[in-house]
Amino acid sequence: MSLIIVGTVAFDSIETPYGKADRVVGGAALYGSIAASHFTDGVELVSIIGGDFPQEELAYMVSRGIDLAGLDIKKDKKSFYWSGKYHDNMNARDTLITELNVLAEFDPVLPSHYKDADYVMLGNLQPEVQMKVIEQMEKRPKLIILDTMNFWMDVAMDSLKKVIGKIDVLTINDEEARQLSGEYSLVKAANKILEMGPTYLIVKKGEHGALLFHEDKIFSAPALPLAEVFDPTGAGDTFAGGFAGYLAMTDDISFENLKRAIIYGSAMASFCVEDFSIGKLRTLNEEMVNERLQQFVELASFDVKAVETV
Amino acid sequence: MSLIIVGTVAFDSIETPYGKADRVVGGAALYGSIAASHFTDGVELVSIIGGDFPQEELAYMVSRGIDLAGLDIKKDKKSFYWSGKYHDNMNARDTLITELNVLAEFDPVLPSHYKDADYVMLGNLQPEVQMKVIEQMEKRPKLIILDTMNFWMDVAMDSLKKVIGKIDVLTINDEEARQLSGEYSLVKAANKILEMGPTYLIVKKGEHGALLFHEDKIFSAPALPLAEVFDPTGAGDTFAGGFAGYLAMTDDISFENLKRAIIYGSAMASFCVEDFSIGKLRTLNEEMVNERLQQFVELASFDVKAVETV
């Protein structure tokens, strides 16, 4: 099935304790669409770049079956640029430079053949921009997934709540779930957020995995403990792309299938962090993906029997 | 099978956002032995209390099949007392009062009928005290479990490493695993710690669950998200007691069975936090325990199939 992915395509300069990468390709929609492209050939990108973005990177995306009709290329301008430095423990980072460049004028226009897509992944952007995409759809998609962050809760809570009211799956981290709901307990936070509109809430907890909330059900997905996290940039976007791509491939939006989609997304994210940019994602093949899935199964599997307590 | 549990039996005064409890019974060995007593009637307590400790609480422990022969009662002295206040988010607490009282002279002497126990749970205590217990055993137990904390790493690392060299299962939290090993990555930390002696390492992550490391295998156990955490005091000790009690009941120290034991321990801990002191643990019956276990199964279960990536 077709899957629209909306978000940034950008340059990143990154420093981690393992090394430096200068002006490598990044952005939520780049990570997301490449991860999704491993599951479905229906990925339809919506983003904006400048004339400085390398032709060979665009060719690579096309080679992965990604439709670039919705990519707005401003030939005389520069692509969005972010530079950051991770702390020694990799759990915190400082932003050194943010140059919006073309992103400041991002006004997504869906090509007409995108407008009947069944799956839509709205990357972290200004809520009004996310809403514009939804409003252009000619029929209600089966599933709209939205990623956002604390920044929009600080500066645009009203617009954010409006767009959250229009979507099916919200992905945020635990602190953001608390901020959005005003509840510390994640169970209470989830209940409040599910009342705002979404059918599903995914709480991303980084190295602690993720929680999926739906009605009164909860699924706890593990994260694969890794000996080396080389560069965490893009892990959340790769997760979202793998998650959405798996759903678009299987075209099944049941709770059971969303659980699976979270595991597939987590597996893709676990590859992402093993190299800078999309270095590792470029090397993936079917065998590697399935071997990683098996590691998740082994990591989380247990059996219990009813016990006679004394 | 017999299970020795060594640790504190104490009074706690606790304040949480939900209320206050004044001089209620607590201590690692109290929580642990009551949790374990739901799985095995072979619990053998080793601890020290003053004459102020309520007779009816001792009678309750006896009614749960706990052997108190190793409980040293100093009639003219006072029991260990701890007072603390939790922050609004329950994830941090301030210690208000610590009165060691009888704990300052705790010199555990094992009754002779304890000395052939197959299972030993050493609660968080001075490493030299933990070592004294091991030295009194007449035969090497099948499994020695040791809990400790960052305080002993700060003030007694050498003694701690000596006792860690003598045990089979170490339970610490993620920050303590990092401190003990000098490695930030938990995978690398676990590898180093397993080289120090233990066959198994359990990394407790509170609301994020626990990780079990053994050889090159990892198991990620979920924590049950709860709408209300009434009082977290004793959750880790209840976990350890349930874990050890289940192992003593099943007498199986394979990786697969330790995974199960972690789930049973986690289920017991999830009850502990629902009331002050052992309030909730007192009310447990077989049906409640098995229902909670089923919640853990539903929380963590998923199935994945090998996918054809495109």
Whole-angstrom distance, CA of residue A21 vs CA of residue A15: 6
Residue A310 is predicted with a pLDDT of 65
CB contacts of B260 in chain A (<8 Å) are 302-304
Q: What does pTM read for this prediction?
A: 0.95
Tell how far CA A123 is from the center of its chain: 6
Could you give the C-alpha distances from B28 to A144, A310, B48, B275, B280, in angstroms and in order?
Answer: 48, 21, 12, 16, 16
Given an 8 Å threshold on Cβ–Cβ distance, is A309 in contact with B205? Answer: no
Q: Is B36 on the interface with A (CB under 8 A)?
A: no
Residue B196 is predicted with a pLDDT of 98
What confidence tier does B267 reach under pLDDT thresholds 50, 70, 90?
very high
Residue B38 φ then ψ, to 5°: -80, -10
Question: Is pLDDT above 90 for B91?
Answer: no
**Cβ atoms within 10 Å of A283's Cβ, excluding its own:** 11
Whole-angstrom distance, CA of residue A304 vs CA of residue A21: 47
Tokens of B287: 């049906």
Residue A291 is predicted with a pLDDT of 95
Asked whether residue B251 is assigned to any structural domain, the reply reads: yes
Residue B310 has its nearest CB partner, among A38, A187, A296, at A38
CB contacts of B304 in chain A (<8 Å) are 260, 263-264, 293, 296-297
Residue A89 is predicted with a pLDDT of 77
What confidence tier does A307 reach under pLDDT thresholds 50, 70, 90?
confident
Residue B253 φ then ψ, to 5°: -110, 30
Q: What is the ipTM of this complex?
A: 0.93
Q: In this structure, which amino acid lies at residue A66?
A: I
CATH number, domain containing residue B207 = 3.40.1190.20
Question: What's the pLDDT tens digit per position in B191-240?
Answer: 999 999 999 999 999 999 999 999 999 999 999 999 988 999 999 999 99
Tokens of B65: 């099949």
Given an 8 Å threshold on Cβ–Cβ distance, is B225 in contact with A218? Answer: yes
Instruction: Write out residues 254-293 of B within 8 Å (CB-CB) of A.
Output: 256, 259-260, 262-264, 284-286, 289-290, 293
Closest CA to B299 of B256, B261, B270: B270
Question: What's the pLDDT tens digit per position in A168-187?
Answer: 999 999 999 999 999 999 99
Q: Is B59 on the interface with A (CB under 8 A)?
A: no
Question: What's the pLDDT tens digit per position in A89-103?
Answer: 777 899 999 999 999
Closest Cα in chain B to A226: B187
Asked whether residue B40 is assigned to any structural domain, the reply reads: yes
Residue A182 φ then ψ, to 5°: 75, 15
**Residue B32 near residue B123, CB atoms below 8 Å:** yes
Question: Is pLDDT above 90 for B305?
Answer: no
Given an 8 Å threshold on Cβ–Cβ distance, is A264 in contact with B304? Answer: yes
Helix axes of B174-181 and B186-195: crossing angle, nearest 10 degrees: 60
List Cβ neighbours of B147 (8 Å cut-off, separation of 6 or more): B7, B28, B121, B122, B123, B124, B171, B172, B236, B237, B240
List Cβ neighbours of A180 (8 Å cut-off, separation of 6 or more): A153, A172, A189, A193
Residue B310 is predicted with a pLDDT of 65
Whole-angstrom distance, CA of residue A52 vs CA of residue B172: 50
Question: Is pLDDT above 80 for A16?
Answer: yes
Asked whether residue A262 is assigned to any structural domain, the reply reads: yes
Given an 8 Å threshold on Cβ–Cβ distance, is B88 in contact with A188? Answer: no
Residue B177 is predicted with a pLDDT of 97
Asked whether residue A310 is assigned to any structural domain, the reply reads: no
Tokens of A203: 């709480």
Q: Looking at CA atoms only, how far is residue B228 from chain A in angstroms?
A: 7
Q: Is A177 on the interface with B (CB under 8 A)?
A: no
Question: What's the pLDDT tens digit per position in B137-180?
Answer: 999 999 999 999 999 999 999 999 999 999 999 999 999 999 99
Percent of chain B with pLDDT over 90: 94
The secondary element (H helix, E strand) that includes residue B55 is helix B55-63
Q: How many domains does chain A have?
A: 1
Q: Looking at CA atoms only, how far is residue A298 from chain B in angstroms?
A: 7
Asked whether residue B310 is assigned to any structural domain, the reply reads: no
Asked whether residue B220 is assigned to any structural domain, the reply reads: yes
Q: Is B73 on the interface with A (CB under 8 A)?
A: no
Q: Looking at CA atoms only, how far is residue B293 from chain A in angstroms?
A: 7
Question: What's the pLDDT tens digit per position in B57-83?
Answer: 999 999 999 999 999 999 999 999 999
List Cβ neighbours of B149 (8 Å cut-off, separation of 6 or more): B124, B172, B176
The DSSP line for B177-220 is HHHHHT-SSHHHHHHHHHHTS-SEEEEE-GGG-EEEEETTEEEE
**Residue B208 near residue B186, CB atoms below 8 Å:** no
Asked whether residue B305 is assigned to any structural domain, the reply reads: no
Tell how far CA B64 is from the center of its chain: 18
Residue B81 is predicted with a pLDDT of 97
A253: containing domain: 3-300
Residue A38 is predicted with a pLDDT of 96
Asked whether residue B308 is assigned to any structural domain, the reply reads: no
Compute the average pLDDT of residues A77-88: 95
Closest CA to B270 of A218, A142, A190, A102: A218
Q: Which residues lie across from A172 on neighbouring strands?
A: A203
